[in-house]
Structure formats: structure tokens, C-alpha cells
Structure 1
Amino acid sequence: MDLTVAGTRAELAEAMKAREHAGDRVALVPTMGALHEGHRSLIRLAHEHADHVVVSVFVNPLQFGPGEDFSRYPRTFEADLAACAEENVSVVFAPSADDLYLPDRQVGVSAGHMGTIVEGTFRPDHFDGVLTVVLKLFNLVRPDVAVFGQKDAQQLALIRRMVADLNVPVSVVAGPTLREPDGLALSSRNRYLSPEERTTALALSRALREGAAYGTPRDILRAAGAVLDGAARAEPPLVLDYLVLADPATFTDVGDDHRGEAVLAVAARVGTTRLIDNVVIRLRA
């Protein structure tokens, strides 16, 4: 299958025209590039749900706050194209910010209360930027299915809520978190870590494993927190932003009476690198 690269909205519309005319099912995998095996797994999952897969490669300025890593976020476009070709992607949509956003842009998507808690506490307006670009991509690609990673659990919950609240005709599919052999969740930001920082960062996945071994919210958080407390005394230290056990649909804290799925989510900094991770736990009586 030949890969089409669309650098503008007009080129994307032309690329999608024949597929829409044929009535083929289309899946979208939104990315910010720097593709790794986790992204490839999402593309493979997308192929299970559609005839054609579209991958967007766009480092979205709206979701980066002051002092965050927008300028240094890894950009590996040629390698990304090669990966997409290997995974039989039909179209790569790689617009510029000037093409995607009007210079006097005024209207965006508000993430509401859920966008201000947990991750939103530390990254104000982040989820507004995420939802705005995702809705634009949905409108431009018009996919039947969109695939997102479970690693960004709060983002996934908010996209599902946006689709429901705004009646967006797309099915949202979640792909599982992939990990390095040492347990670190795959992330484009892992390349920032020095060997010593990576050793400290392994406490995130270790904390999630320890917590998941327990049955009540109190014990889950206690066990995971103990691991993170130890990592805070390491060299270099881990600086914790949050550790929460939350409802996967609303990201509000769950209590001891909660039954069913809950997300144990963590965010922390090691050196200048901020990492997130989570695991889904089923709580029973």
C-alpha cells in the first residue's frame, strides 16, 4: 500500500476523497511524532478496525504550557514516515500550526472540571489544547474509529467524554500501555533520561505493580506510595506530582466502597523529565 503524505488540510481532503467515495472504514491514530513501538501497536490495533489507517503527526502547541518542552520535543519526521510505511499506513497528516489554526483563533474546546483535576492541576489548559486539536482532527479526517493509548488515561477519559457530550460520530478504542523490558512505560520523552535518571524512573512502574497487588484503595495507595517515597530519597531523586486511585471515566478519587475498575495513576519528575504511568485495577468486595 502506497503511503500518502498530506502536509495541509487541502492535501488531506484530496487524499481522503477516494476512500470516502468507496465507503471504506477509516481509523485515525493521532500522534505528536517521535514514533516508537507503542505507537506502532496503536496502528496495528487500528488496522483491526478499519480498511485504512490515518496517522497524524503534529506537535500541538496548544497543549504545552509555559516552561514545558514544546521547543525540544523530539521531532523525527523521516523516521516516523518510515515507521508508518512499514505499518501499512494509508495517509500521514502532518500539518503546520499555521495551516491547522487560524491566526486569530478564538474558539476552542473546554475540558470542563475534569480538565482541571489530577493532571490538569499541574498542567492548566493542557486538556483544552488536547481536545481542541483532537476535535479538529476528527472533523478533518472524519474517521469511523480513533485509537488512543491507555498510558494517557485521563486524556482518554476526556476524549470519550467529548465524543459523548458533543455527539461526535467516532468510536474511541484504547490500546494497552507498552513497556520497555525493564518496565518503564514507552514514551517519546524517555530519550531525555540519563542512565541514572532512568534507574530512578523505574520506581513509577514498580509502584504501580506493588499497589496493584492489594485489594482496597487505602492499601493500594499505601503500598505504591512507599515505593515512591523510597525513590524520592534516591540520587537523582524522584519528585512526585501525584499518585491517585481514580474512577476511569471521571478521574475523581475512589473510596473504599468502590467496586469495579479504577485507575492507579502517577506522575513524577526525574531531572528535567516529567513522566506519567498508570495501571487499571479491578476492585472487588
Structure 2
Amino acid sequence: MLVFKTKSELKEHLQPAISKKNIGFVPTMGALHQGHISLVKKAKQENEIVVVSIFVNPTQFNNASDLTNYPKTIDADLKMLEEANCDVVFIPSVEEIYDENVNSENFEFDGLEKEMEGKFRPGHFDGVGTVVKKLFEIVRPTNAYFGEKDFQQLQIIKKMVVKNNLPVNVIGCSIFRESDGLAMSSRNMRLTQEQREASPFIHKVLLEAKSLFINEKGNGICKWVTEQFENQPELELEYFIIADEENLKEMKTINENVKYRAFIAVFAGEIRLIDNISLT
């Protein structure tokens, strides 16, 4: 496994493979868990070369303390990637990615960025789009892999690729969960024992909401979910919505030809956890 810290060295290494071999790419912010490794394994199955980036992107954080507290476990990350037979790891500095201009581009995502997370994290998706576009231009992957836990992010990256005519196939991968149902996230390691014990309730509610959606056609589900969290002292519901998977617009009435998904954001203390589930 080769590790590069500069764009020039990485590009020089990958240049002979571009257009001749499939390059799989998994962008991460480090603090890796088995969810990330599942993406690497899928990429290994479908590509001759797999590149993983580890870069905590400052332009996508609205909360400065969240950026400061984001877990950094580079030695453990590299060990996990080596065990997963990753080929190349890219660990750039902020200066290497942004030079001296640590700012986001302004993107048009056809309104996807204004729903859900966009309402609570203004500018977040411009930051995501900026860094992913930069990484795509550096790595020039054939296929790029993203987890469905960040489903809105996945749809936005797909939109960015289309609008910018980038020759990348963006592949969404199923949410990887702990044995108790909690969606794997780098933030989970910051949970207290009490918060960690309470947090599987999020997935439990999603499963019950799916059952209600199928059997009762969506009536009163949002109110029901809100009521469930009233008796959870460790968890505070930020939002729960049912939306069209394609445009992420909140469901008003059920259309038989639309794929719906339930999205949820919950605070455990200061730690924000998100999850989602397909309803159709």
C-alpha cells in the first residue's frame, strides 16, 4: 500500500493507469470504521486500483467546534486500509487541496441542497461539492463509492457530476450498521456510554415508521415519530421527514410512481446523528 501526501506525486503514480485500468475511489475524512471498509472492499471487487483519501474538509463544517473535535485516528486508519488491501492512500494537507483559498465554490444542485440538511447546515453542500470535485480532478477515478447514510450528499454528488460533465460513475452503497442497528459513523466514538446505549432507538423508530408507511400509507407518521422521542432523555429529535428519493422534496401526498425514503437527524448531547431508510 502506497501513501501519498501531495497531488503531484499521486497524479504521477496514477497517470499510467488512467484510461487503461479501472480506478476505484473512496473519499473519507478518516476515523475509519467497518462502514468505510465495506466501501473499500466493494471498490476492490470492481476495480484494478483502489484509492482512498483521508482529508477532514474544513469548508463543509458549519460548527467550528465540530471541525476541531472531529476524531483523527490516522495510524489506525492506515492499518485498517492495509488489512483491506487498499492500493493507494492520499493524505493531503488543507494547503495541498485549497492552496491559500480555503473557500467553497458556489454550486447549483437544482434545489437538492435546500432540503433537510441544507436547512440546518447552510453552505455545507457547497463545501462537500468543492472538495469532492477537487478530489475527482486529482484522482480521476472510474468509479467513486459513497455510503447511503449520507443519502442527500450522495444525490448531490451525483448531480454535481452530471452538471460538471465529470467522467465518474458515482455508486451508492448500503448503510453499514452495528449489530444493534446504529448506523456506523465516525461520530459514534464520541458518544458517552449512556448515549451509545440509547442511540439504536433511532433505527428502531425508522423500522417502525417503515411498517406504518406500508400499512397506513403515511398518515400521521411524523407526529408519531416526534412523540416517540419525547420519552428519550438522551436523544433530541431535530427532524424527521419522508421525501422523494430523487428530488428530496418532502412528501405531501403519496404518489404510486415515486420512491420514498424516511430521513432523520437526532442530537445525542452535542453529537448529531443522521440515518435514513427506504420506504418503497
- Calculate the TM-score normalised by the size of structure 1: 0.91
- For residues 170 and 40 of structure 1, the distance between their equivalents in structure 2, rounded to whole angstroms, comes to 21
Number of residues of Structure 1 aligned to a counterpart in Structure 2: 278
How far off is 1:235 after superposition?
2.4
**C-alpha deviation, 1:190, in angstroms:** 0.6
Could you tell me which residue of structure 1 aligns to residue 24 of structure 2?
A: 27
Unaligned runs of 5+ in 2: none
Q: Deviations over 1:224-272 (max 9, x none)?
A: 6534423333223x22221111111211112222434211110010111
Q: Which residue of 2 aligns with 1:166?
A: 164
**How far 1:215 moved relative to its partner?**
3.6
Instruction: Report the residue type matching 1:161 in the other structure.
Output: K
Give the 3 Å change call, closer, same or farther, for CA 280–101 of structure 1 in structure 2: same
Where do 1:241-280 residues align within 5 Å?
241-254=238-251, 255-280=253-278
Q: 87-96 or 217-226, which moves further after superposition?
A: 217-226
CA distance in 2, matches of 1:111, 1:6: 32
User: Which residue identity does 2:115 align to in structure 1?
Assistant: I
2:187 to 182, 186, 189: 189
3-state SS of 2:250 partner = coil
CA contact (8 A) 1:108 1:132 kept: yes
Query: How many angstroms apart in 2 are the aligned matches of 1:218 and 1:121?
Result: 28
Counterpart of 2:90?
Answer: 93
Q: Which amino acid aligns with 1:210?
A: E
| 1:105-124 map, 5 Å | 108-112=105-109, 113-124=111-122
Instruction: Could you list the structure 1 runs, at least 4 aligned residues long, displaced by more than 3 angstroms after superposition.
Output: 104-107, 215-225
Structure 1 gap segments, 5+ residues each = none
Task: Tell me what 1:7 maps to.
Answer: 5
CA distance in 2, matches of 1:211, 1:155: 22
User: Which among 33, 40, 43 is matched to residue 46 of structure 1?
Assistant: 43
The answer to whether the 8 Å contact 2:104/2:127 transfers is: no
**Could you tell me which amino acid in structure 2 is paired with residue 46 of structure 1?**
A
Deviates most, 102-111 or 192-201: 102-111
CA 111–31 in structure 1, closer or farther in 2 if over 3 Å, else same: farther
Q: Which amino acid aligns with 2:70?
A: Y
Q: Does 1:212 align with 2:173?
A: no
Change (3 A) 1:97 1:119: same
* Aligned-partner SS, 2:187: helix
How far the C-alpha of 1:20 sits from its partner, in A, is: 2.6
Structure 1 residues 54 and 136 mapped into 2: Cα distance closer, same or farther (>3 Å)?
same
Query: What is the match of residue 80 of structure 2?
Result: 83
Checking the alignment, whether the CA contact within 8 Å between 2:217 and 2:254 is kept in structure 1 is no
SS at match of 1:266: strand
Q: State the distance in 2 between where 1:35 and 1:225 align.
A: 35
How well do the aligned residues superpose, as a CA RMSD in angstroms?
1.9
Matched residue type, 2:30: G
**Percent identity over paired residues:** 38
Q: Deviations over 1:103-150 (max 9, x none)?
A: 135661425432122111111100000011000011000000000000
SS at match of 2:66: coil
Q: CA deviation at 1:171?
A: 0.5
In structure 2, the CA distance between the partners of 1:204 and 1:108, relative to structure 1 (3 Å rule), is same
